[in-house]
Amino acid sequence: MRNRLPNVTVDKGPVKQEPWIIASAGAASQRAHKFATWLFVLGVVLPGDMSFLLAGAKFNPERFIIALLLIPALFLLLQRGRRFVVCDLFVLLASAWMLVVSADNRSAELSSAGAVALELLGGYFVARAYFFGHLAVAEFISGLKVAVVVIVAVAMVDHMSGKLIVNSFLGLNSEPEYRNGLMRGASVFPHAISYGTFCTAAGAIFLYAGRHRMSQICWVGVAFVGCFLAMSSAPMLMFMVVLSVYSYDRLLKSSPWRWKAFAAVIGAVLAFIYLTTNNPTSWIIAHLTLDPSTGYFRKATWDRAFYNIGFAPWIGFGFGDIGEGLEFFDNASVDAVWLVIALRFGIPIVVFLLLANVTSFFVGFGRTTVGPTLDEYMDRMRSGFTFAVITFVLVGLTVHYWNTMWMLWGAYIGIRASLYEHFLGTRHLGQLYSAWHGPPVYVPATTRRW
């Protein structure tokens, strides 16, 4: 019966395996696409504000790279053995909604909506296609490490020079902001909070990608230093949340009830705050931000945005002016991606995009979405990319994304969806092995060839 397990050799000791070739019968080939991976990483490292015209169309590095990779990516997704997941539908709906509601407006608005749709949808499908399987995910992590080192190094140059060096090079505003007497680095991103969000998401991935404890500490440490250089409340808070939840996960790894207990505790804490304080939102802002004044400003922004959304809940206002010209908060920056897309495209896109994020890692109660697959690395990466997706969702409550951040958000959702697709194709091996031999025993990291 052991011979019926493809690509797995079982003996009385640990499972001797090549994890990246474990696949269900008839599954698509799983290999690294080095050229596409490093081209994608180049799109992350190059500044998104570095725009240029090509055949009359405005491009920046990430849009140009997505345009190069998108058609081959679609062919890869359509090859035999690949399968669609429900997340694909919601990403398509979100992108299509942007274009549909902008079609009746000016061509300039349709062009802007098309750029966002290209970054989100293109980043998603490029990641879905090229970063599928063990080898491809490992190659992406290698590229992400290089990107983090380069981007954090540029942020250090920001601090040493006393100005935003990339913005200065591009002829943009190079005067930095300061918080608690410390400069806020932005590196290759247009704002410090975008840079901090990138570092937090990368740190979440590195927590689960480390082959050895020292390697894990090193790479998570680099990401944390990068996040600190941004001096941004939301990414820093999210980094602490990620570290705490990771520690909790490792401490109670053998307890299947740990996530139900975790959700119950979070619910109880929120209920306590709302029941014992006169203004719960203000309490949270005052105690969980580095600079409470920015939190109160965002609260007022949310109140005014909800008021305006009520006037055009279905199709939004497009990219034009919103509200009354003399109202301060109608002219102020709306620092929340969820509010911005609702104001521009209506409430439906908020629903589609939120469902796209959630269904990349959760497809409903009563279905098996996690479990052993005989590939410990891929099991861990599902958790890592779940945290990365949640980072974008939650930090997006305090910042609007544009350019490279849209591509990265789409890519992380896409990789997490591909990890779920990979799980669907390999879980039966773990189930069969568990039924015959008990829980799988993984080969120690030092004996693996990854």
pLDDT at 287: 62
Helical ranges in 78-189 per DSSP H: 86-102, 107-117, 123-130, 134-161, 165-169
pLDDT at 306: 85
For 395, the token pair is 């930090």
Cα–Cα distance list, 232 to 9, 35, 422 (Å): 49, 34, 35
pLDDT at 57: 75
Inter-residue contact 430 to 440 (CB < 8 Å): yes
| DSSP states of 335-373 | --HHHHHHHHH-HHHHHHHHHHHHHTT---TTS------
Give the N- to C-terminal CA distance of the chain in Å, as an integer.
Answer: 28
Cα–Cα distance list, 355 to 130, 242, 388 (Å): 23, 21, 16
SS3 136: helix
SS3 53: strand
Cα–Cα distance list, 439 to 14, 177, 371, 432, 436 (Å): 11, 53, 10, 10, 9
- As a whole number of angstroms, the distance between CA 402 and CA 416 comes to 21
Inter-residue contact 33 to 137 (CB < 8 Å): no
- As a whole number of angstroms, the distance between CA 228 and CA 222 comes to 10
Inter-residue contact 48 to 62 (CB < 8 Å): yes
171 phi-psi bin (left φ>0, alpha ψ -120 to 50, beta other): left
pLDDT at 8: 41
- As a whole number of angstroms, the distance between CA 110 and CA 319 comes to 9
Cα–Cα distance list, 315 to 95, 297, 336 (Å): 14, 26, 18
Mean pLDDT by 10 residues, the chain (450 residues): 42 40 49 92 93 79 94 92 92 95 72 91 96 94 97 94 86 80 90 94 94 90 96 91 91 80 82 77 62 71 84 86 71 83 94 96 58 74 94 90 94 96 72 49 40
